[in-house]
Amino acid sequence: MPPPIQRNSLCYLYHYQFVRSKIKSPIEELIMNLMSTAVLDDFANLSPLLRIDLHSHTTCSDGGLSPEELIDRASNFQIDILAITDHDTVAGLDVAANYILEKNIPIKLIKGIEISTAWQGFEIHIVGLNIDIKNTQLLQLIDQQQEARESRAIAIGEKLERCGFPDVYHKAKERAGAGTITRAHFAKILYQQGDVPSLQKAFDKYIGKGQRAYVKPNWCSIKQAVEVIHAAGGSAVMAHPIRYDLSSKWLRRLIVQFKEDCGDALEVVLPQMAPQQRDLMLNYCLEYGLHASMGSDFHYPSKWSDLGRNLKMPERASPVWHLWAEPIEPIKLC
């Protein structure tokens, strides 16, 4: 067994060059496989040269690419470590893992999920990273969340019908296929029918909070989500805190609640963030003793955001993957 590869070592540079050059000679392939495992599994000493994206979606929820297509895109974008975090489902993870193995793609897959929660009338998303997707408590929560999604989707369809859009629920359901139905599927149907000029306008005019076809969700609490993620051996991350429509005072309250509920990390780096926003999120991490995560929240290719874009962990941050260097405990107590 070769020793772990240290960051910035010649071995790492060799790995990085040859993995990306797709050389096929047997000896080089063997060396690459050994080095790839060592580099990407040594979470305490991950090289800053690695490209890491810990938030992405597939067609198993509201993403535009299948798990296989997402992995191919991540490979083309030279992503080294990728988390798939579909909304309230883990359906795409085994598909992605098997595809990586079958095609011998040099990507470390982090198994994840994005759980929708309710807090003070706001919808807050909690990402679970490095989870056991067979965990019973996790699967029970997923079933509960899926039932809530289906009930909400039916109610949204009924409201949109009263707005003059017949049979939109069944069209959105068909669009979702075997994946989780979300409001994004309704937005895509309205856009495709020419009822709105853009996807965002569907939210602004009909299905966004406070609009005619909005239906309040019946999600679990932040505490429930964190407890289940921990039971599955994972780390609980508050997704994109800067995107919630909260004042500074309420954002701090949310972070305090998250910390009290034993949350592990904040998503401090997103593709579209001003430097002062990153500094603010980092300061919250430092103030409340939270780790830091980063991710593109990739759904589909666009000119504004893509896999791995502008993702760099701040120097003073304690990366969430440092938690994975320790033995996984079934239940974490804070």
pLDDT above 70 covers a percentage of the chain that reads: 85
In SS3 terms, 170-211 reads as HHHHHHHCCCCCCHHHHHHHHHHCCCCCCHHHHHHHHHCCCC
Q: What is the pLDDT of residues 297-327, one digit of tens each?
A: 999 898 888 999 999 999 999 999 999 975 5
Which of 5-19, 181-195, 240-254, 316-330 is predicted with the least confidence, judged by mean pLDDT?
Answer: 5-19
Q: Is the pLDDT of residue 232 over 80?
A: yes
Burial of 301 (0-12, 13-18, 19+ CB in 10 A): exposed
Higher-scoring residue by pLDDT: 18, 123: 123
CB distance 324 to 239 below 8 Å: no
pLDDT of residue 48: 82
Question: Which run of H or E residues covers position 41?
Answer: helix 26-41
Beta-strand ranges (E) seen in 85-130 are: 108-119, 122-129
Strands, DSSP E only, in 15-107? 52-53, 81-84
Checking if the pLDDT of 271 tops 90, the result is yes
What is the C-alpha to C-alpha distance for residues 239 and 202, in angstroms, rounded to an integer? Answer: 23
Residue 198 has pLDDT above 80, yes or no: yes
CA distance 149 to 197: 26
pTM: 0.83
CATH class of 141-207: mainly alpha
Rounded-to-10 torsion of CA 205, 210, 213, 215: 150
Q: What pLDDT does 17 receive?
A: 44
The pLDDT, as a whole number, for residue 272 is 87
pLDDT at 26: 57
> Where along the chain do the CATH 1.10.150.650 domains lie?
141-207
Predicted pLDDT at 42: 77
